[in-house]
Structure 1
Amino acid sequence: MTAPPPTPSTPPAPLAPPPTPDPGLERWRLILGAPAEACTGPLGGEAAARDAALDWLYGRDPDLGRRGVRRGPTATREGGHGPSEVTAVDWLDDVHRLFPKETVERLERDAVEQYGIDEIVTDPEVLSRVEPSQSLLRAVLRTKHLMNPRVLAAARRIVEAVVEDLTRRLRPEIRRSLTGSRNRRPSRIPLSRDFDLKGTLRANLAHYQPEHRRVLIERPRFHSRSRRHLEQWQLILLVDQSGSMAGSVIHSAVTAACLWGLPGLRTHLVAFDTQVVDLTADVPDPVELLMGVQLGGGTDIARAVHYAAGLVENPRRTVVALVTDFYEGGDPYRLVRTVRDMAAQGVTVLGLATLDEEAEPAYDRELAARLAEAGAHVGAMTPGRLAEFVAEKVGRG
């Protein structure tokens, strides 16, 4: 009996490729945390690593836990990625690897400002890895009194990087606003008092007529009024160095440095809390200036404004820009009286609730309103808008 031919073996069915994760569901899972996993499905690979990094930071917030967001009773962590086992250095390495730069800056800002993870700005190893940003510079300024010399040296890298970036972006805008003011009225008719007799004679000597003993004037010369008036202006920046004003302190230092050396404009920078410190001599080096500023403490605005009044040389050619949140710890009556006296003499007084790129102030509106009634211009400005304001005043002469 002949055996039947062997039946060819059936090849195994190919394995189905893993399902492609839905980016929308994955994003919601990262936002909401483990409690959302029943609806969104689990995370894997790099998404799971992102979730661990987010949970290290936001998982410590009890409010998020009560709302069932980020951490809930069913939340688990594999691989020991709990807040107590991952160091700030490990976490920074992870977020720099897993997230884009804009997200990294937000995470670092929240770590310092919202959750008080001070080792990000007090540990030299962490500082060597951190991405320089304005939020971290504010944190450095708030905590540098706690730093030893080794940590201060590492923190200086953040100060230098942020100051360099701000200066590069602000200097062209600020200087263009001021130097452009000289040409804002090119069609102005020259006035007789501006006539330059000596300059006109020198320019027209070639047209001297000896028989008539006279010079034909073909090219009259006039003095530049805008230049002469510009040389008489003072800008006095008074900056509150309480902790809430850190952003304005940074921008005030950089703004003063950008204005420094402009022909015809003398810039002063004065910081204050309960004491007044004239920082004008340090303005050319804003890094050293910021490393010397000490945020925090009380606030005596009246004392600072009184000091500024003593710097005024020509009231009608002076702008005093008071950068503060207007929460006065000194004598508010003295403050209002001094502002009223300066305004009556012709000083332009600006009360700025903030001086930074966001211009979103939080301030004592009652005192600010009293200063406005006394003659101050009260509001919030970016550094570029401050330069435009000064340029407009200078341009009017």
Structure 2
Amino acid sequence: MKGDPSANAPPALVRRRTVLHFPGFEPLDAAAHRTRYARTAAQSVSVWDLHVKAGPLQPGEGETDVAFFDVCCQAANQEVQSRIHLFEHDALVRHFSKGGLVMRLLAGFRAGCRVVYQGGVVAYFRNAWRFGLFFLFPFLFIGLALALTVGLACLPLMFGFGIWTLIVTLPLAAIAFARLFPILSARLHVLHLLADWRMAVAVSALDDPVVDHWLESRVAAARAALQTASDEVVVSAHSMGASLAVHVLGTLLEREPQILAGRQVVFAGLGGALLQCALLRPAGRLRAHVGRVAAQPGLVWFEVQCLTDAIHFYRAPPVALCGHRDAPQPRFVFIRLKQMLKAERYRRIRLNFLRVHRQYVLAADRRAPFDFTLMTAGPLPAARFAYFSQSRLPKLGADEMSASL
């Protein structure tokens, strides 16, 4: 995209908004996501001079079990009503995290081998080398832990004891590994990351009936959510949620090409890991959905990225890398955590790579080019966030809003 395609459009503020939010790979159900949103919105109030009230969580209506909640926002005498549908996948997180330690390790390594065989690792390092390191991390950690365990079991041999001592030391080392590994790896979320790779492989190949059922039910949920009249539709997709969002939206457009006709639609990738799945060879259907979504007339797609976040494909063009170089390409919106957060808060989280990766859906301490609450509940059209930068921040005063538009 060159320039702002809506630069000559008449000023318009959003009064009613429909949001389809696809969270990342986190063990949180709809109630937990709604609670976090309300907490984040409360922090955004002081930063943006907003008045935001998140309503109670409501169960899904009709054929869908996707919960939603309403948000009322007041800024500069403008009132905005937003309905946020939570396409959380806690059931899938639990599905890929079940089983004992040995089963989870074996299943995780099997998924890792499939990623290697399907060309994922080469593609990761070619397009975003830090994401390649992110892939390697849990497997290297486990390999090191196993090597230390075997080394400890073999330690008596170095002091002249016979090989028969392994009959005793190997079982003891295995017991120690089973007891200590979950504790030592919990802070680094190693087992959680193995589950993430299991899900990435399944979302790519569409060979798991649990994933297939989840996606099919969410297509129906998206259709139901889009029946609500609103000024704009925002599809916000954080991390792994990007692949799920593209599958759901792409399938819906495949079946009902006119479902979004005449609607103002924004697709916002937040630290998007769409290419985590899409770069695997079996992900042909996902790549086709990427092209279908990108080619939707009037749809604005932008990617919010941060250099210090290793769990996404920094500056990698997702649509082009999925084989659709002639389709409209997403814009990049770059944020810097140092400019968004207080120094103390930044120091506290900067070495926690999963916490940094969650910042896209959390509140900042200072005004920045992107704010999750402002995009999903505020008065400015979400498409505006594709054109903000640190030198041109959103402005919410009565006169300033018109100038921003």
TM tier relative to shorter chain: under 0.3
- Please, what TM-score do these two structures have when normalized by structure 1? 0.25
Greater C-alpha Rg: 1
Q: Which is bigger in relative contact order (C-alpha 8 A, separation at least 6)? A: 2
